[in-house]
Structure 1
Amino acid sequence: MDIVLIAGLWFDGSVWDEVVPELTALGHRPLPLTLPGQGDGTASATLGDQLAAVLAAIDATPGKPLVVGHSAAATLAWLAADARPGKVAEVALVGGFPSDDGRPYADDFAAEGGLVPFPGWAPFDGPETADLDQPTRDRLASIAVPVPEAVTKGIVHFTDERRFDIPTLIVCPEFTPTQAQHWIATGESSELARATRLDYANLDSGHWPMASCPRELARVLAEAANS
């Protein structure tokens, strides 16, 4: 199966470099995306531009792909499912939940001159980074790129309720499936609360499993693609 891989803030398609060969060895075709404004040098990109790039990748596949969104890009994957409910086989959300309709995409970090730079590791101290050794932190920081403020402050809009019937896998890295189920049940994600086909997978890692446990992440994604 084709597997569209969408990184969260600050990272381009290269952040999946260690996952790609593992998925390939498991018989799938990974498609890591470098989004407009997030590694392609386009500082003026918008959330709409990023969604258009994801939809173009989905439309180019011969069948129905698994669409994977990491962290903030959980929202981008969900937007793609909303825009292509008949073309997406399944959605996998790694370490993130979709934003609610009418909310900004990801405006938690400060902008400087129209760009939101990688803030360093201090804001993520704790379970999110506990599994990252210093060389891995250094490597990730070296490939991080500022994200256009127009992306992070783009307003999320959904239009097709068929998205709720698409099988959705919640991949739980720095939190557990039990925690995720509780958060959804108590209103942390009004979108996922309406999803009819939710499954959960525990990774027991930090927030960037593509860097700290790529083989385990690939296995989880391959199992979803095979289901």
Structure 2
Amino acid sequence: MSGKGSTYVLIPGAWHGGWSWRPVAERLRAAGHRAICLTLPGLGDGDDPTGLGLKDAVDHVVSEVEGLGLSDVTLVGHSWGGYPLTGAAHRLPGRVSKVVYYAAQVPVRGRSMVEDNPPEAAAMLRGLIDASPTRAIPPTLQFVQGIFMQDVDEGTQRLVADLLTPQPGDYFLDSLDVPDVSELGIPALYILGEDDHALPRPGTEFAARLGLEPVMVPGTHEGMLTHPDEVAKAILND
């Protein structure tokens, strides 16, 4: 179990902002911890996604942790957020004490998120990026209804779809030149939703990259919104 007074830095997935972690953050705070919900560059309301790359996302996580003078930090990443989480963990020695991947992709060194997708999905993502004047992938209601959040009513699906923002394409096309976090010698945890259909590979495969078995929680890819009690409890390892 995590000790009292721990600090959790919550990193959102593609198309999402810090708002997506708020229900979980409130529960972490109620348990006596500090919780910081990040919104990465280009993913705030009205942000311009043009020209942003994965390094910008990693830099943002690092600058927030260093700028706030944080230590004994648990980095928590959702979905694509596993990429900036991994990159930042390697740049924050002595500050990060644990990492948690929630329904997240665990990067392979030198392989981009697009390259880690099946060929048909990779081709689709490249096509969407190339077709955009800002090289960003727009969110769609179909994504939410089909693979993100298929277990809730249409009104909730539409609300979440309206909150999503275009994803900078190079966040998906850039790779990390670092090994996985298992080489950092810090504890790692992989949490997976029981009805998650959004990951490009089985969550068990991503967990296995860290030598882990996933901790299962209820919900789909958006379980941090629909099942925040269970997700918070799993993060705290209660």
With the length of structure 2 as denominator, give the TM-score of the two structures: 0.78
SS at match of 1:17: helix
Measure how far apart 1:31 and its partner are: 0.4
Amino acid at match of 1:150: D
1:58 match: 65
Tell whether 2:39 aligns with 1:34.
yes
Amino acid at match of 1:8: G
Alpha-carbon spacing, 1:122–1:105, altered in 2? closer, same or farther (3 Å): closer
1:144 match: 164
Contact kept? 1:64, 1:87, Cα under 8 Å: yes
**Structure 2: segments with no counterpart, 5+ residues:** 1-5, 116-121, 197-201
Deviation string 1:35-64 (CA, Å, 9 cap, x unpaired) is 001116132322111100111122234322
Q: Distance in 1 between matches of 2:180 and 2:53?
A: 21
Percent of counterpart pairs with the same letter?
25
Amino acid at match of 1:10: W
Q: Distance in 2 between matches of 1:160 and 1:72?
A: 15
2:108 match: 100
Contact kept? 1:170, 1:201, Cα under 8 Å: yes
Deviation string 1:146-181 (CA, Å, 9 cap, x unpaired) is 011122211221168764522111101135xxx744
Tell which deviates more after alignment, 128-137 or 59-68.
128-137
Tell whether 2:176 aligns with 1:156.
yes
Tell whether 2:101 aligns with 1:87.
no
SS at match of 1:92: strand
Measure how far apart 1:199 and its partner are: 5.8
Tell which deviates more after alignment, 54-63 or 200-209.
54-63
Q: How many residues align?
A: 212
Contact kept? 2:17, 2:40, Cα under 8 Å: yes
Alpha-carbon spacing, 1:217–1:52, altered in 2? closer, same or farther (3 Å): same
SS at match of 1:69: strand
SS at match of 1:172: strand
SS at match of 1:140: helix
Q: Distance in 2 between matches of 1:55 and 1:141?
A: 28
Tell whether 2:223 aligns with 1:216.
no
SS at match of 2:15: coil
